[in-house]
Structure 1
Amino acid sequence: MAADSSRKLRSELGGLAPPNSFLSSASVLPASSVPIRTGLTGLFMATLAWVAILHWRLPALPAIVLLVVSTAIPMWLLELRRHSRAFDHGDHERQVPLKQLRLQRLIGLAGVAILFASSITMQNFLAKDWIVGVYEWTLPAAPVLGFFCLWQLFCRPGPPSPIEELGISIVGAWNQKRLDAGGVQILLGWVVKAFFLPLMLAWSYVWLADASDQNWNSIGWASFFAIAMAWLYAIDTAFATIGYMSTSRRIGAHIRSVDTALLGWLSALACYPPLSLLVLRTWLEYKDGFEWDAWLHASPALALVWGAAILLLTAIYTLSTVMFGPRFSNLTNRGIITSGPYRYCKHPAYFCKNLSWWLISVPFVANAGLKTALFNSLALIGVNIIYWLRARTEERHLMQDESYRQYAAWIDKHGLLGSLRHRLAGRS
């Protein structure tokens, strides 16, 4: 039994090397599914919104609405224009009776409401000590506004909207007494959105609130660092929020496939509440309250360099999310991204995030004794392993896409590690 389990684990993690048939295409980098201008336009608008938020000292609730809406709409319009030709040849004339169309949308909307209500209830019940009051003040406004915009933009006659697709799947499952493979994928896609959208929205709210709480009367290096980190993470989570709200075929952001592997789901969910409260905050708790700023308090020059390195890593991590435009999502394939940091590494976000945690928490510093430092370092290594598992399972899932296989082959040859490996091989 153990041998069978071991083989099953290796089969989930293995088979990631690109087939020989794709090695010949390693010299060609596939075009990114989202043009770099889309993400940068969203980033520019998000920055303008951030400046307005700081100038007017907006409270977190109107701030999150302004940030999400002002970032999303320009990206939606750019992608809508880019994909409009796909529906110019009769796709908008689907022969579906109006009564049936309304019923499908109504059933789909009811299914969405149930999924989101269940997810939010679970979060409030299991993770109520993680964050206080966020759902109470954020959810009545921003998601309603976001879904209203989506309904107006994408639920017109044309390709089925995500809500309508869920309704069609539910009706089909009811009539056939079972949910087919396509229906499973649609349902899993909505489970992903129902779980992650409230989290991303809440986190963006928290980062905006954190920035507004900073003391703006005395801007020094410490406050600048805190404001910059809050801005980067607010942008990151705002783009993630938009990604989960934008799974529309009209902008090419629909879900192509959802990972169905248990290991993929477990490794991803272990990084988010409520499961992370058990895994990362209990079993693998590596923080002891002594971080880099306290460690380098007596060395201002080194602290400046160290803090700049943290900001750089966090900026690369945020830029990796920005490159998705309105398509960011965990556990799904919504098109392969090959621009920005992804031109040099398959997992720049995971790499930079995990390295920044080492620089922030400095678990190797024996402030509370060598034993504590060793335990904290091993715990953070455990967290790194979880993210390594996420990366490997994501690759296994995305390898079903020919574009990703071509991208992986290109990165293996021309990416940062691939180029270094080839140079070292050439010198030996």
Structure 2
Amino acid sequence: MAGLAGLIAWTMVARHYGMDGSYAALVNVAACALPMIAWSVFVDKVHRNPSTGIDWASPKPLKDTLDISLTKLAGLWATWAGITLIYATGRFYWGGNFLFAMELFQTLAPALFVLSIPYVLWLDRYLIEPKDGAWSLGAWLMGTGEPDKEAIFNHLRSWGVKAFFLAFMVAIVPPGFGDFVRTPSFGLLADPVRLAQWLITFMFVIDVAFATVGYLLTMRPLDSHIRTANPYAAAWMAALMCYPPFILMEDGGPLDYHPGTAEWTYWLQGHPVALAVMGAVLVALTAIYAWATVAFGMRFSNLTHRGILTHGPYAWSRHPAYLSKNLFWWLSTIPLLTTGSMVDAARATLILGAVSGIYYWRARTEERHLGADPAYQDYSAWMARNGPVPRFFAWVMGRKAS
């Protein structure tokens, strides 16, 4: 909640002074991140969790870990060089909203390079097992030591996730924040449609800020490091087709269900009570979606295992974000209604059904990955017996909750 308080405080300041630019949006991310870091370290003391792999009480002499650290830095810098090459080569990254992300990364890269040296030298003295995937990659590149190939693959997958999704998150942070800050609040309470749309925008501001923090703070001292990145090709395929440049649901894409449809405000116009009720439902669904991201705190990211969540909306459903997002799309679009022909309605319904199917596929591939952890097996079994959403679907299907 500390991060949410910081975010709300900054958005209030930004709205008051009309600060709606890209860097004001980044300050919003910082206002979210810094209180979370402070709370995690000074209150929750997450840096002392055994899962960090750190033993603060027994630092090793620098001379004992120096070779390991230098090898690790070689692997880390080689990884960053590969990411830089991909960014530089992909024309997609040098236009639209992504241009801001690339310019920001260019500015920060020298500082990140320099700071990585004292950070790795310092942390390796306290790590119980400092020879991680970055070390294995460095050892393989230099032909020294005995690198662990699986550790290398996990290291590259982890940085692949971070590079792909962090660029996307930084690209979408400014537009949503700017829209929320610029929207005048005068008369909002008298207009349920404007109020709902404004609140939905704010829910996405929260979601994007927390998600961006999650991709930024993959650090062992915060116990927010990536344990494993999803090793299954099906999981990557299901996830990537939901994000640019591979997205299939964009305007004109093969899974664009919007042609021949209209938004909920079109179908319910002239019915103020129905508009207010539908607006409230859509705000609630977006709030659940944002709540699911907030529940991760600093550990949010796609395609990774960074600890098992059992609180917040995850005490109700294994996949609250996917469920609420898809319900939002169905209710806000109502594909059975059409501005064209019945063929358009049938096509939109089938395509939106395919989109929901992709999210079901994503959920299943995530469960396959996390299912290797006994903690997730216990959580999944508990959820099947006690979770309100799984029990509801079991009742609808005529099955007994297992």
TM-score grouping bracket, smaller chain normalisation: 0.7 to 0.9
Counterpart residue number, 1:233: 204
Counterpart residue number, 1:47: 8
Q: 2:239 aligns with which of 268, 275, 278?
A: 268
Distance 1:309 1:85 in 2: 41
Counterpart residue number, 2:154: 185
The answer on whether the counterparts of 1:111 and 1:167 sit within 8 Å (CA) in structure 2 is: no
Q: In 2 relative to 1, CA 196–92 (structure 1 residues): closer, same or farther, beyond 3 Å?
A: farther
Distance 1:280 1:398 in 2: 33
Q: 1:207 aligns with which of 176, 197, 201?
A: 176
Deviates more, 1:293-302 or 1:400-409: 293-302
Displacement of 1:293? 1.0
Task: State the Cα RMSD in Å.
Answer: 3.3
Q: In 2 relative to 1, CA 78–216 (structure 1 residues): closer, same or farther, beyond 3 Å?
A: closer
Identity %: 29
The answer on whether the counterparts of 1:286 and 1:379 sit within 8 Å (CA) in structure 2 is: yes
Counterpart residue number, 1:303: 275
Counterpart residue number, 2:167: 198
Distance 1:238 1:207 in 2: 10
Distance 1:264 1:44 in 2: 34
The answer on whether the counterparts of 1:108 and 1:165 sit within 8 Å (CA) in structure 2 is: no
Distance 2:332 2:132 in 1: 44
3-state SS, counterpart of residue 324 of structure 1: helix
Distance 1:396 1:378 in 2: 27
Deviates more, 1:109-118 or 1:398-407: 109-118
Residue 358 of structure 2 corresponds to residue 392 of structure 1 = no
Q: 1:258 aligns with which of 229, 232, 235?
A: 229
Q: 2:139 aligns with which of 172, 180, 199?
A: 172
**Partner AA of 1:309 in structure 2:** V
- Post-superposition Cα deviations, 1:332-379, rounded to whole Å, max 9, x if no partner, equal 100000100000100000000011011122222122121111111111
The answer on whether the counterparts of 1:169 and 1:179 sit within 8 Å (CA) in structure 2 is: yes
Counterpart residue number, 1:85: 48
Deviates more, 1:92-101 or 1:239-248: 92-101
Q: Which has the higher contact order (CA 8 A, sep 6+)?
A: 1
Displacement of 1:234? 1.6
Distance 1:374 1:356 in 2: 19
Q: In 2 relative to 1, CA 144–321 (structure 1 residues): closer, same or farther, beyond 3 Å?
A: farther
Distance 1:268 1:119 in 2: 19
Displacement of 1:49? 1.8
- Post-superposition Cα deviations, 1:207-252, rounded to whole Å, max 9, x if no partner, equal 1122234344553433322321221112111111111111111111
Displacement of 1:157? 1.5
**Partner AA of 1:223 in structure 2:** R
Distance 2:203 2:166 in 1: 18
Q: In 2 relative to 1, CA 394–338 (structure 1 residues): closer, same or farther, beyond 3 Å?
A: same
The answer on whether the counterparts of 1:92 and 1:157 sit within 8 Å (CA) in structure 2 is: no
Counterpart residue number, 1:242: 213
Q: 2:30 aligns with which of 33, 44, 69?
A: 69
Distance 2:399 2:172 in 1: 45
Displacement of 1:315? 0.3
**Partner AA of 2:101 in structure 1:** Y
Distance 2:40 2:68 in 1: 25
Residue 297 of structure 2 corresponds to residue 331 of structure 1 = no
Q: 2:293 aligns with which of 303, 309, 321?
A: 321
Residue 27 of structure 2 corresponds to residue 56 of structure 1 = no
**Partner AA of 2:174 in structure 1:** Y
Displacement of 1:291? 0.8
Q: In 2 relative to 1, CA 108–65 (structure 1 residues): closer, same or farther, beyond 3 Å?
A: farther
Distance 1:47 1:58 in 2: 14
**Partner AA of 2:165 in structure 1:** F
The answer on whether the counterparts of 1:46 and 1:70 sit within 8 Å (CA) in structure 2 is: yes
Unaligned runs of 5+ residues in structure 1 are 1-39
Displacement of 1:279? 7.6
Displacement of 1:52? 1.7
Q: In 2 relative to 1, CA 195–396 (structure 1 residues): closer, same or farther, beyond 3 Å?
A: same
Displacement of 1:164? 9.5
Q: In 2 relative to 1, CA 149–301 (structure 1 residues): closer, same or farther, beyond 3 Å?
A: farther
The answer on whether the counterparts of 2:338 and 2:344 sit within 8 Å (CA) in structure 1 is: yes
Q: In 2 relative to 1, CA 151–321 (structure 1 residues): closer, same or farther, beyond 3 Å?
A: farther
